[in-house]
Copies of this chain bind each other. A is one copy, B any other.
C-alpha cells in the first residue's frame, strides 16, 4: 500500500475520531493496534457494488432472538452454534442512534442519518433540523457517479426509511410529495410496498403512479409481470400484488407463495441493476419494527429471518464479486425494549413455545373483527374464542377438572400441553382484555394504566402475544422505539471499518468513503 493512501486513510479515521468527545481518555491514533486496524480496514479498493440492509426496529435482542428461535427448532442444537448470516459477517460493530432533538430516534431521523451522514429532527427526511436545507443522500451520490440505484422495502415504498434515500421533505407524513420525489429521483429500481397517498392527502391530486409512469418507469404489480422483469427493461417500480391496509407487504409469517418475498425483490434488484458502473441497493426489512411495536415476538423473529434471507441473496452476489462488493447491515433503532428474559420465567427460556403461533397479531385481529361484527358486548362470550386462541397461539384454557386430568397423565405430551395451559390469573387478564376489545374504541379507557397494558393495540391480541412471549421468556418494556445502540455487520471491501462503537451518521460516512461517493 502506498504511503499517500495510508495517510489519507488515517486522516479519514481521525476525522471520525475528533467528532467524539471522550470524557475520560483520548487514545489518539498512536497505538499499534489502531494502526493495524486502519491498514487492515481499507484494502485500497473502492466498492463498486454496495448493499445497505436496514432492519427497521432491529436491535441486538431481535437478532439474537431469531438465532435462539432457529436453535429451538432443532433438538439438541447448542444456541451458540447457530448464527444468522448477518451475525456471521467478519465485521461487527455497534451504533448509537440518537436523533438531533430526541434520545430515542424515529425512522425518518434515523434514515436521514444513515442515508446522508447528518443528524436531523424527528420526522424530517434528509433535510436539516430547520427544514430549509437538503442533505444529499448516498443513493443520489451513487446515481450521480453513474451507478444504478435500487430501493426496496417491505413497507410502503414512500415510508420513512426508503424515502430517506430519495426524498427531501420537512415531514415524513408528506406521502404524496415523497411519491413525487420518487418519480423525479431517476433511480433505477423500486421494489416492495405501494404508495400510501397516490392522489394526495385529500385524494384530489394527479395520480403519483401516472407521474411515475410519465417519468419513464415501468410500473408492475403482479407476480407474472414481476417475474418477467429482466435487464434492459429500464426504470422500474415493482409493487407487490398483495398489500396490507398500510400498503406494506404481509408479515412473513402470513405470506403465501403468491406474494413476493423480500429475498425475491433483492434477487430481482441484483438482476436488474448489475452493470459495469456498479450499483447501490438499499433493502429495508420494515415490519420487524411494526411487530415489535405490537410486542409480537414471533412475527418480529420470522420477519428478521426473512430479512436475513434477503441478505443471503446479496452474499451470493458478493461471492461472485468479493473484491468489489460491500454489504452493510444495521437497524435504524431498536423497538419495544425486547429482551431474552422475563421475570415470570426467572432464568429459563422456552423459545419452542412461540412455534405455536400460527399468524401475526394483525391476522388474529381480523378473526376478532369478524367476531365483533357478529356479536355485541352483551352476547360476546370469552368461551367462544377459546378454540381460536388455541389454534392461533397454542395457549390452552382448561377447566380445573381437565387440568387435574392432564396433570395425572404424566406423559411427555401431557407435560408439554400443560406448559401451554393458562393460569387462572392469566385467563383473567385475557378476559379483561376481551371485554375491552368488545367495547367501541371511543368508550375504552384512555388512562395511562390502560396504555401500559395494551399500548394502542387491540387489547385481547396484545394480551395474548404478551402471555405467549412471557411463557417463552421474552420480555418487552415499550410499544415505542428505544434508545439502545444497534448492531452493525459488514462483509466485503472496507468492511473492517465497521468494527467498533460509533454513531449512525458514521455508518453513512464510511459507506460513502468506501464507495467513493462523497
Contact = CB atoms under 8 A, between A and B. Distances in A.
Interface stretch (A125-133, A147-155, A486-494): A486-494
Given A31-B322, A425-B448, A499 B501 contact: no
Given A104-B349, A484-B60, A501-B83, A36 B341 contact: no
A357 interface: no
A234 interface: no
Q: Which of A24, A41, A475, A476 lies at the interface centre, i.e. has the most chain B CB atoms within 10 A of its CB?
A: A24
A423 B60 CA distance: 34
Given A478-B341, A479-B343, A33 B43 contact: yes
A90 B34 CA distance: 6
Given A21-B81, A83-B501, A91-B500, A337 B344 contact: no
Interface in A478-514: 478-485, 487, 489, 491-496, 499-501, 503
B91 A499 contact: yes
A37 interface: yes
A196 B495 CA distance: 49
Nearest to A487: B94
Nearest to A489: B501
A341 B37 contact: no
Contact of A323 (B32, B96, B455): B32
A40 B36 contact: yes
Interface in A348-367: 348-349, 351
A107 to B, nearest CB: 11
A78 B21 CA distance: 9
Q: Which of A77, A351, A478 lies at the interface centre, i.e. has the most chain B CB atoms within 10 A of its CB?
A: A478
Interface in A223-240: none
A308 interface: yes
Nearest to A104: B347
Contact of A477 (B23, B93, B312, B475): B475
A449 B39 CA distance: 56
A83 B23 CA distance: 6
A203 B491 CA distance: 59
A480 B90 contact: no
A85 interface: yes
Contacts of A476: 477
Contacts of A484: 60-61, 64, 339-341
Interface string A74-111: 00011111111101111111101010001110100000
Interface string A311-348: 01001000000110000000000101101111110111
B499 A25 contact: no
Contacts of A104: 340-341, 347-349, 473
A451 interface: yes
A87 B22 CA distance: 10
Contacts of A245: none
B480 A347 contact: yes
Given A60-B484, A483-B68, A484-B60, A477 B337 contact: yes
A385 interface: no
The complex is assembled from copies of this chain, and their number is: 2
A90 B37 contact: yes
Contact of A339 (B77, B98, B106, B337): B337
A20 interface: yes
A70 interface: yes
A452 interface: yes
Nearest to A495: B33
A163 B445 CA distance: 53
A33 B492 CA distance: 6
A348 B482 CA distance: 9
A32 B322 contact: yes
Contacts of A93: 92, 499
A379 interface: no
Contacts of A24: 83-85, 88, 308, 312
A413 interface: no
A399 interface: no
A425 B451 contact: no
Given A20-B83, A91-B500, A499-B500, 16 more contacts: A21-B77, A22-B88, A23-B83, A24-B85, A24-B88, A32-B322, A33-B91, A37-B90, A78-B98, A83-B501, A103-B351, A104-B473, A337-B339, A337-B477, A425-B449, A489-B501
Interface of A: 19-25, 27, 30-34, 36-37, 39-41, 43, 60-61, 64, 68, 70, 77-85, 87-94, 96, 98, 102-104, 106, 122, 308, 312, 315, 322-323, 334, 336-337, 339-344, 346-349, 351, 423, 425, 447-449, 451-452, 455, 473, 475-485, 487, 489, 491-496, 499-501, 503
The list of the 4 closest CB pairs from A to B, nearest first, reads: A475-B477, A40-B40, A341-B482, A340-B483
